[in-house]
A and B are shown apart, each in its own frame.
Chain A
Amino acid sequence: QSVLTQPPSASGTPGQGVTISCSGGYSNIGSHSVIWFQQLPGTAPKPLIYFNDQRPSGVPDRFSGSKSGTSASLAISGLQSDDEADYYCATWDVSLNGVVFGGGTKLTVL
């Protein structure tokens, strides 16, 4: 059972948009910024969004992040087939004194 809650799966058709949620509490998302990772099969995770809503260079602006209270979201617009991957949120938890991850969301592009 992960400290941060994500839906296990999400899907959309090419060109559509999808939003992945990440729900936590006051000791984690409520206190610290959130980072999002994309993991393609057999590869290391890649950062998509950091500090809640900032994109690293090279990440398309189709990816956007937001945070409100104890929840965060990753929005992907204009879905493409190579967006099929697992997506994880993460942040620091002040009560656990460590990093916590969401359980991951498997995105399928139909």
Chain B
Amino acid sequence: EVHLLESGGGLVQPGGSLRLSCAASGLTFSSCGMSWVRQAPGKGLEWVSAVSESGAYTYYADSVKGRFTISRDNSKDTLYLQMHSLRVEDTAVYYCARDLLSATVHWGQGALVTVSS
């Protein structure tokens, strides 16, 4: 069974940094494109970033470009999201997802990031 487990969420002050991790199991991680999607409290889904199977290609939403970095370690079956210069509006549940737009899509349960002073 596919399992994606996010960790690293928490409370951080505006301007601070945080790194999210997503540990994958039950799948061939190195064959999956991976994404981060977030959902602010009471709001809709917002795509944040994606990375290709090998990690060679990365994609970002304009709202996080230059502040967030997506990466992966295929030897550890783990996806990362390094977040810098965090803003109040980055407060959200962050989900990692496998193959977001395809038949094999699978989501983690999410990690809450709260940016507040």
Chain B residues near A103 (CB, 8 Å)? Answer: 44
Residues of A within 8 A of B (CB): 2, 32-33, 35, 37, 39, 44-47, 50-51, 54, 56, 86, 88, 90-92, 96-104
Asked if A101 and B46 make an inter-chain contact with CB atoms under 8 angstroms apart, the answer reads yes
Out of A50, A96, A98, A101, name the residue touching B45 (CB < 8 Å).
Answer: A101
Q: Is the interface of A mostly helix, strand, loop or mixed?
A: strand
**A104 with B44, Cβ < 8 A, contacts A54-B103, A91-B101, A98-B60 known:** yes
Chain B residues near A45 (CB, 8 Å)? Answer: 45, 95, 107
Asked if A98 and B61 make an inter-chain contact with CB atoms under 8 angstroms apart, the answer reads yes
B88 within 8 A of A: no
Interface string of B49-91 (1 = CB under 8 A from A): 0100000000111100000000000000000000000000000
Interface residues on B, range: 20 to 34
Chain B residues near A39 (CB, 8 Å)? Answer: 45
Out of B44, B101, B108, name the residue touching A92 (CB < 8 Å).
Answer: B101
Out of B46, B101, B103, B107, name the residue touching A44 (CB < 8 Å).
Answer: B107
| Closest residue on chain B to residue A44 by CB atoms | B107
**A35 with B101, Cβ < 8 A, contacts A45-B107, A98-B60 known:** yes
Chain B residues near A97 (CB, 8 Å)? Answer: 59
Out of A2, A32, A51, A96, name the residue touching B44 (CB < 8 Å).
Answer: A2
